A and B are shown apart, each in its own frame.
Chain A
Amino acid sequence: MEEGKILSNAVEESGAAYAVIHEKFGEAISAFDDNATMPFFEVQDTALWTDIALFMRDHPKLKFNYMACLSGVDYLEEGKLGIVVNLESLGVFSHRIAVKVKCPRDGGSIPSVAGVWHTANWHEREAYDMLGMPFDGHPDMRRILCPDDWEGWPLRKDYRVQESYHGIKVPY
């Protein structure tokens, strides 16, 4: 956070929440991005993501009890896949924050938070279905939208559709 920068109340609240997490996890998380649209931080040590999520949900000063959204992202240039998790604290605090978690594009995986927020169960399955990174510790890790025997990961930026599916031509 830049010194002397004037932030809105909402971003300041998110910054205060970030400070609590940073105090506990230190270098495992990146610096705080105080943009006004959706303030976020990135998890540097991917293996700690489930612990960070539990801490954020249960700490009396944080109480991120609501996972609003979990989206998958393809960072083709970086050679990484990732997720963006939007968290809020319904009925307790008014702070909100986004968390980014990344993993290598080839053979990488991300720890699951389906046990922390049950909403994450289907969201993670969707991210897996579209981008192909498995979530470790997920109770039911399989495709959710595409057929089980679909080939490839449709939302990857270098995706090419398969020629046929069960004998039916797929491209136009």
Chain B
Amino acid sequence: MGLLDAAVSRQNVLVTSVDSVLNWARLSSLWPMGFGLACCAIEMMATNASNYDLERFGIFPRSSPRQSDLMIVAGTVTMKMAERVVRLYEQMPEPRYVLSMGSCSNCGGPYWEHGYHVLKGVDRVIPVDVYVPGCPPRPEALIGGLMKIQELIRMEGLGISRSDALKKLAEADVDPQPLIEQARKQETA
């Protein structure tokens, strides 16, 4: 339930739970760390730029891990880079979120067998909340992943652990196929 759905009584008085307000504030100003590792970073930059305009979600890249809530691992993580990624992750304040963008950071991508220098999935070194498939994913897919992170934040609350929130998120998952078909029907009607 979003904040604006909460009951409004009298003028200028909004009745809602602390959880909702905190979550609304956090998910409306997700600050990712501004770093990219390979070609996925180009798509990430395109998503940040005016055509897809991530700032309408309050998403705005920060230049320091200490000011970031979210790490978008955009690109091929080499063995050399893996240790730096862990270090950057550890420098981020909690609560922090990790979005793995593209096949390389999900599972090694095209380097899965003969890429001796590539880490076969960034989840081997840091916990990942959302995986976005693609090589590289289109901006729409990245926005989809970011909205998934927002949903995850919405599932959180006082006394609810991250793993519980992830479970709740999985249960709340909606099959998009009927919705797509419904939209198509409306379009043709």
A residues whose Cβ falls under 8 Å from a Cβ of B: 145-147, 154, 159, 161, 165-166, 168-172
Contacts and interface: CB of A to CB of B under 8 A. Distances in A.
B180 to A, nearest CB: 34
Interface string B107-135: 01000110011011000110000000000
Given A147-B79, A147-B80, A168 B119 contact: yes
A169 B124 contact: yes
Contact of A154 (B112, B116, B120): B116
Contacts of B116: 154, 159, 161, 170
Contacts of B82: 168
Q: Is the interface of A mostly helix, strand, loop or mixed?
A: loop
Contacts of A161: 116
B79 A170 contact: yes
Contacts of A172: 108, 112-113, 120
Given A171-B120, A172-B120, A165 B113 contact: no
A159 B79 CA distance: 17
B103 to A, nearest CB: 13
A171 B112 CA distance: 8
A161 to B, nearest CB: 4
17 contacts: A145-B117, A146-B80, A147-B79, A147-B80, A154-B116, A161-B116, A165-B79, A168-B82, A168-B119, A168-B124, A168-B125, A169-B120, A170-B79, A170-B120, A172-B112, A172-B113, A172-B120
A127 to B, nearest CB: 16
B79 A154 contact: no
Nearest to A165: B79
B90 interface: no
Contacts of A169: 120, 124
A167 to B, nearest CB: 9
B94 interface: no
B140 interface: no
A159 B119 CA distance: 18
